[in-house]
Amino acid sequence: MLLNLALWIQATGFFTYLRGSGYAYPSILSLHMVGIAFFGGMILMTDMRLLGLAMRNRPVSDVVDQLRVPKRYGFLLAATMGVLMLGCKAEEYYYNAFFRAKMTLLILVAVHALIFRSRVYSQAASFDKAGRVPAVAKTAAALSLILWIGIACMGRGIGYIEPPFGIHAGLAAPQVTVAQALVPAVPALMPASTTRSRP
Amino acid sequence: VMKDAPGGGKLVACISLCLWAAVLFGGIFIGFLNPTLDIHQV
């Protein structure tokens, strides 16, 4: 059933166009990376502050509260581009073990948020009053870092697993690749397909 | 009380962000253009 859904999604006109465009897919992938860099930077600073490893001269509540909104913008960008990439190659991702691991880790991040958001991330001002960060907050920060680093590593792995042979046989081939568009006068250098997944 | 950076500082920050975003775009597009960069095929 999930496989049928994946096949249907990637066969829609919108995702067929994105997959076939030589510019759109790498642009989406690049924006996914920009979002991850933005979001990951905010996560890193928040967790490092809770662990007492960075920005120690700033109040915890300053760091946690002020990075919250830009963090959400970064997550929104990364998640939106991630969904677009998933739609382009849904069948390939369905078979990809790294993708499944990444989704599992994202579920664990949601569980982490459910457990620690009210206990830690919404209580940053009380840490400043107490003058110390409690162990539960440091545990939450360490777990958050481990989970997000794991997600980043799994994301890198997604692009390096070959899909089962022939699963794209029925898909529309790319019409114009970036390389063909940029170097039209050297057709001998152009491979059959230069589009690859590097999430 | 912390004040916002002056206009020049904001401009420098914007340029820095754009340059780093461009570095990411460049890195990704290198992967997609990789076959044409093989010196042995020229």
Identity of the amino acid at A64: V
Nearest to B33 among A29, A186, A194 (CB): A194
Which residues of B are less than 8 Å from A182 in CB distance? 33, 36
pTM over 0.95: no
The CA distance from A72 to the nearest CA of chain B, in Å, is: 18
Whether A26 and B36 lie within 8 Å, measured CB to CB = no
Give this complex's ipTM.
Answer: 0.71
Kindly report the number of other CB atoms within 10 A of residue A14's CB atom: 11
Q: How much is the pLDDT for B37?
A: 59
pLDDT tens per residue, range A102-149: 999 999 999 999 999 999 998 889 998 888 899 999 999 999 999 999
Q: How much is the pLDDT for A181?
A: 45
Q: Over 60: is that where the pLDDT of A48 sits?
A: yes
Q: Over 70: is that where the pLDDT of B38 sits?
A: no
Q: How much is the pLDDT for A194?
A: 44
Confidence of residue A23 (pLDDT cuts 50, 70, 90): confident
The CA distance from B25 to the nearest CA of chain A, in Å, is: 5
Give the pLDDT mean for A142-166.
85
Which residues of A are less than 8 Å from B24 in CB distance? 30, 33-34, 37
The CA distance from A183 to the nearest CA of chain B, in Å, is: 9
pLDDT tens per residue, range B1-35: 567 777 788 899 999 999 999 999 998 888 777 66
Q: How much is the pLDDT for A188?
A: 44
Q: How much is the pLDDT for A195?
A: 44
Whether A30 and B28 lie within 8 Å, measured CB to CB = yes
